[in-house]
Amino acid sequence: MSQPAYTRMQVDERRRQLLDAGAELFAKHSFEEISMRELAEAAGVSKPLLYHYFPSKIDLFKAAVSEKAEELQRLIEPSSDGPAIEQLSQVLDSYLAWIEDNAQTWSKLLQSAATLPEARELVEGFRQRTMDLILAQLTEGRKPRPALRIAIKGWLGYMDAAILDWSESKDLPRAKLRELLLAAFGAALMAAGQADRRVRLRLD
């Protein structure tokens, strides 16, 4: 009988707990797959209280997921200052390691991004900064030719697709995948560089 009717928390604690619950659920389900009722239930809290802490579903989503996105963002900031190719290799490795640990979070974020402008911003912001990092090394700030720009965007798409397949089938060690991605990067640059000078491809 003297069981507390509910657990009372400090504002910060409660907010933290709701954020964690949100991060967990939004990693397992995309934005529209989960309802605020379920979210509140999972956190052991009433719906109005959830809305008291986060004025809308999107606010909760942004607050919860952007923490994860920032974590990933920090990983791709190059830390060493050796040769460009080594930096890329090292960044790729920590990127892949993060994906290995947070595969679901990432894939569900990509899924939400298709529909939700707010999620799209996160993903595209991440892509844009990645692109800028690469271009800063490659062209030293000059505007890239269209073919080069497309080649790099294409390579980012290559990465997404390759990583998606890899994290589903898992029949390649991470180091091998990194090698493949690196090789593809060089190859994409080559293909773009030679695109004016005609590239001949032969299958024997």
Partner DNA sequence: GATCTTGTCAACCGTCGGTCAACAATCGGC
Partner DNA sequence: GCCGATTGTTGACCGACGGTTGACAAGATC
Chain contacts with DNA (rule: CB under 7 A): 4-6, 8-11, 13-14, 32, 34-38, 44-49, 51-52, 55-58
Out of 23, 76, 110, 133, the residue judged to bind a copy of itself by CB under 8 A: 110
CA distance 126 to 109: 12
161 within 8 A of 153, measured Cβ to Cβ: no
> How many CB atoms are closer than 10 A to CB 67?
13
Burial (CB < 10 A; 0-12, 13-18, 19+), residue 88, is buried
User: Residue 12 or residue 140: which is nearer to a copy of itself going by CB?
Assistant: 140
- Nearest approach, Cβ of 12 to DNA (angstroms)? 9
User: Residue 14 or residue 31: which is nearer to a copy of itself going by CB?
Assistant: 31
Binding positions for a copy of itself, 19-78, rule CB under 8 A: 30, 32
| Residue 9 interface partner, choices DNA, a copy of itself, none, CB cut-off 5-8 Å depending on type | DNA
Out of 56, 79, 115, 139, the residue judged to bind a copy of itself by CB under 8 A: 115
N-term to C-term CA, the chain: 82
Specify the residue for token string 């800028």. 132
